[in-house]
């Protein structure tokens, strides 16, 4: 059953210093990322938060669609205006880590993980994804939009998704209070943002420990071509590039546009 997001319950539970204090809620919207992208610089403040109960043109990575059932899940975006204009992939992964930690605590320990670069896996199925977009004004960086889609209360998926997608409710076996879940998640995202801003090395280590395949020999597609050799996944560096040990003992560094991991 679809339900409308209750902003007052959400705000009562929210315990952040700045994230989500300014909220734009819409019953229906094309896409929360597109909405925050289209605002002028003057309308943007750090931590501005946009949420909808129904996206009509939700976007995923690689120009895919992101479609979810109305009033069941969480589809939201956050605008950040960091002083540091680099390391965005690390910030995306820091948000992924906040989600994974929340799921591990809420559903059961070690049930969630990050599928690099930005999928959220729960009991071996996808439960969420992140779409990060930078907005420029001319050549000048203006804002970073981090959009998050999480399957929360959805009970059924189409035939093509059934085997590979799940929701928090399906895995926990009960209905989830979306407002409470989101408020707690934003508290965690704000905390991870602060670690990211301070360039805490512990953040990278924790992200790495939560990436599927970390420390293992995995298959790799480079520019869409499957490689014959396996590579050992060493984790991300401080810029978010993926470091892989090759069979010759050398370390190769890849950006997320270049490669896809093939893990079991
Ligand atoms: C992916 O797994 O491909 C990323 C999915 C990201 C979906 C979210 S939902 C909120 C925000 N608005 C969008 O249009 N996309 C992101």
Task: Grade residue 62 by pLDDT with cuts at 50, 70 and 90.
Answer: confident
Tens digit of each residue's pLDDT (9 = 90 or more) over 78-135 = 999 999 878 999 999 999 999 999 999 999 989 999 999 899 999 999 999 999 999 9
Helix axes 88-106, 178-197, angle to 10 degrees: 140
| Mean predicted confidence (pLDDT) in 179-197 | 98
Q: How far is the CA of 140 from the centre of ligand 1 (A)?
A: 24
**Nearest residue (CA) to ligand 1, atom 16:** 147
Provide the mean pLDDT of the chain: 95
Q: Which pLDDT belongs to residue 257? A: 77
State the average pLDDT over residues 56-68.
93
Query: Distance from the CA of 129 to the center of ligand 1, in angstroms?
Result: 6
For the purposes of burial, counting CB atoms within 10 Å of the CB of 126, is it exposed (0-12), middle (13-18) or buried (19 or more)?
middle
Q: Which of 26, 33, 78 for a ligand 1 pocket mutation test, highest count of atoms within 8 Å of Cβ?
A: 33
Average pLDDT over residues 197-224: 95
Bridge-based pairing state of the strands 23-26 and 217-222:
unpaired
Percent of the chain scoring above 90 in pLDDT:
89
For the segment 41-67, the average pLDDT, to the nearest whole number, is 95
Give the pTM: 0.96
Q: Greater confidence, 30 or 84?
A: 30
Q: What per-residue confidence (pLDDT) applies to 206?
A: 98
Q: From the CA of 60, give the closest atom in ligand 1.
A: 3
In ligand 1, the atom with minimum distance to the C-alpha of 58 is 14
Q: Is the CB of 64 under 6 A from ligand 1?
A: yes
| Ligand 1 contact via 169 beta carbon (within 6 Å) | no
Based on its alpha-carbon atoms, the radius of gyration of the chain, rounded to whole angstroms, reads: 18
**What digits encode the pLDDT tens for the residues 82-92?**
998 789 999 99
Domain 217-262 has CATH 2.170.130: no
Read off the pLDDT of residues 222-246 as tens digits, 9 standing for 90 and up: 888 999 999 999 999 999 899 999 9
Which residue's alpha carbon is at the smallest distance from atom 2 of ligand 1?
129
CA–centroid distance, residue 106 to ligand 1 (Å): 22
What local confidence, expressed as pLDDT, does residue 114 receive?
97
Position 215 pLDDT exceeds 90? yes
For the chain, how far is it from start to end, CA to CA, in angstroms?
Answer: 35
Under the banding of pLDDT at 50, 70 and 90, the label for residue 1 is low
Q: Does the structure show a pLDDT above 80 at 58?
A: yes
pLDDT at 49 exceeding the cut of 70:
yes
Examine the pLDDT at 44 and tell me if it is beyond 90: yes
Name the residue with the closest Cα to ligand 1, atom 9: 149
Q: Is the pLDDT of residue 2 over 80?
A: no
> Prior bond to 26 cis, omega within 30?
no
Which CATH architecture does the domain made up of 7-209 adopt? Answer: 2-Layer Sandwich (3.30)
Task: Please give the pLDDT value at position 57.
Answer: 97
Q: What are the domain boundaries of the chain?
A: 7-209, 217-262
């Amino acid at each position: 059953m679809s339900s409308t997001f209750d902003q007052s319950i959400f705000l009562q539970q929210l315990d952040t210093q700045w994230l989500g204090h300014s909220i734009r809620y819409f019953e229906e919207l094309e896409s929360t990322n597109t909405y925050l992208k289209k605002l002028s610089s003057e309308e943007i403040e750090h931590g501005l938060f946009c949420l909808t109960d129904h996206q009509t043109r939700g976007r995923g990575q690689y120009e895919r669609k992101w479609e979810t059932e109305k009033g069941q899940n969480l589809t939201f975006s956050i605008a950040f205006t960091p002083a540091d204009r680099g390391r965005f992939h690390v910030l995306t992964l820091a948000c992924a880590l906040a989600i994974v930690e929340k799921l591990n605590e809420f559903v059961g320990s070690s049930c969630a993980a990050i599928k690099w670069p930005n999928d959220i896996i729960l009991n071996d199925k996808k439960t969420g994804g992140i779409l990060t977009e930078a907005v420029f004004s001319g050549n000048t960086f203006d804002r970073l939009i981090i959009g998050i889609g999480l399957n929360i209360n959805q009970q059924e998926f189409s035939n093509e998704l059934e085997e590979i997608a799940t929701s928090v409710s399906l895995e926990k076996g009960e209905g989830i209070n979306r407002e409470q879940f989101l408020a707690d998640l934003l508290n965690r995202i704000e905390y991870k943002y602060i670690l990211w801003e301070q360039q805490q090395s512990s953040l990278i280590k924790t992200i790495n420990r939560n990436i599927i395949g970390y420390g293992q020999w995995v298959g790799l597609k480079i520019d869409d071509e499957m490689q014959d050799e396996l590579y050992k996944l060493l984790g991300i560096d401080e810029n978010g590039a993926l470091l892989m040990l090759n069979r010759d003992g050398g370390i190769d560094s890849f950006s997320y546009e270049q490669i896809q991991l093939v893990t079991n």
